[in-house]
Structure 1
Amino acid sequence: MAVVVGFIPTPVGFDALDTARTAAEERGGPLIVVNVVRQGDEQDPRHASEGDLDAAADRLRGSAVRVDIRQESSEDDIADVLLDTVEREKAELLVIGLRRERDVARHLLGVTPQKLLLSAPCDVLVV
């Protein structure tokens, strides 16, 4: 069954990528890696450059499952893009990274992780 990972080019994002790879290999894959670029906000550090996407591909090279790396450009909410991918791919698991520098006690969860946890039609693993 498919595993989808929301990828951002940060240490937490690469940790999520590693976790998703392991989960996809345990399930027989494929692994769908998605980086969402919000139109009109191209300078957002969550947007992966071509070099970041190459680094992700290098990290996943030799995986025991098929790997599909996508960069989706959308005006939609990041969570909506990931949820659409999960549904389209009939994913069994969604993996996301939670940025640790946030004051989790104060915010509990950001809007995007909260929406994904409450709306995903599959299990969600937060790294």
Structure 2
Amino acid sequence: MAVLLGYVPTPQGEAAFARALQEAALRSTTLVVINSARTGALVDPALADDAELARLRAAADAAGVLVEIRQPVAEHGSAADELIDASAEEGVDLLVIGLRRRSAVGKFVLGSSAQRVLMEAHTPVLAVKA
């Protein structure tokens, strides 16, 4: 069993991390954190740096939760694809994502990765607002 988290170092990502950590502790399971860059990007503000990753590990240790952190660089897909694919892995029971507020026009014009994850994930999804 595992709780899967789509993490970005933003207020929304922090709120999602806190809830995913809580869920993993309640379920006595591993927390798998996916912090993915955009397609082919090696430098991306969505990627957490070493200090940020160390902080996440320390928080998980303090909560008594085993954490696995992955930072894949999507070759042909998106962060949403990474989460959708990972949600199909055996043992993933819950996927947690953070949401940011967007207008209806913004959602229509730009699309919504969160919406794709909500609709296509292979497990239940918990969407958290900051």
Instruction: Report if TM-score (shorter chain) is over 0.5.
Output: yes
Separation in structure 2 between the aligned mates of residue 6 and residue 83 of structure 1, nearest angstrom: 10
**Kept in 2: contact 1:2–1:89 (CA 8 A):** no
Aligned length: 125
1:107 and 2:106 correspond = yes
**Kept in 2: contact 1:30–1:67 (CA 8 A):** yes
Correspondence for 2:95: 94
Question: How far did 1:23 drift?
Answer: 0.7
Q: Partner amino acid for 1:106?
A: V
Which one is further off, 65-74 or 114-123? 65-74
Identity %: 38
Judging changes above 3 Å, is the alpha-carbon distance between structure 1 residues 13 and 47 closer, same or farther for their aligned structure 2 residues? same
Q: Find the residue that maps to 1:37 and give its secondary structure.
A: coil
Q: Find the residue that maps to 1:61 and give its secondary structure.
A: helix
Q: Find the residue that maps to 1:48 and give its secondary structure.
A: coil
Structure 1: unaligned runs, 5 residues or longer: none
Judging changes above 3 Å, is the alpha-carbon distance between structure 1 residues 94 and 35 closer, same or farther for their aligned structure 2 residues? same
Correspondence for 1:48: 48
Question: How far did 1:108 drift?
Answer: 4.7
Judging changes above 3 Å, is the alpha-carbon distance between structure 1 residues 99 and 70 closer, same or farther for their aligned structure 2 residues? same
Q: Partner amino acid for 1:97?
A: G
Tell me how large the CA RMSD over aligned residues is.
Answer: 1.9
Question: How far did 1:39 drift?
Answer: 4.5
Q: Find the residue that maps to 1:68 and give its secondary structure.
A: strand
1:85 and 2:86 correspond = yes
Correspondence for 1:69: 69
What are the superposed Cα offsets for residues 18-37 of structure 1, whole Å, 9 maximum, x if unpaired?
Answer: 10011111122111011002
1:34 and 2:13 correspond = no
Separation in structure 1 between the aligned mates of residue 117 and residue 57 of structure 2, nearest angstrom: 25
Separation in structure 1 between the aligned mates of residue 58 and residue 65 of structure 2, nearest angstrom: 14
Separation in structure 1 between the aligned mates of residue 34 and residue 115 of structure 2, nearest angstrom: 18
Q: Find the residue that maps to 2:86 and give its secondary structure.
A: helix
Correspondence for 1:116: 117
1:60 and 2:63 correspond = no
Structure 2: unaligned runs, 5 residues or longer: none
Judging changes above 3 Å, is the alpha-carbon distance between structure 1 residues 18 and 71 closer, same or farther for their aligned structure 2 residues? same
TM-score (norm 1): 0.85
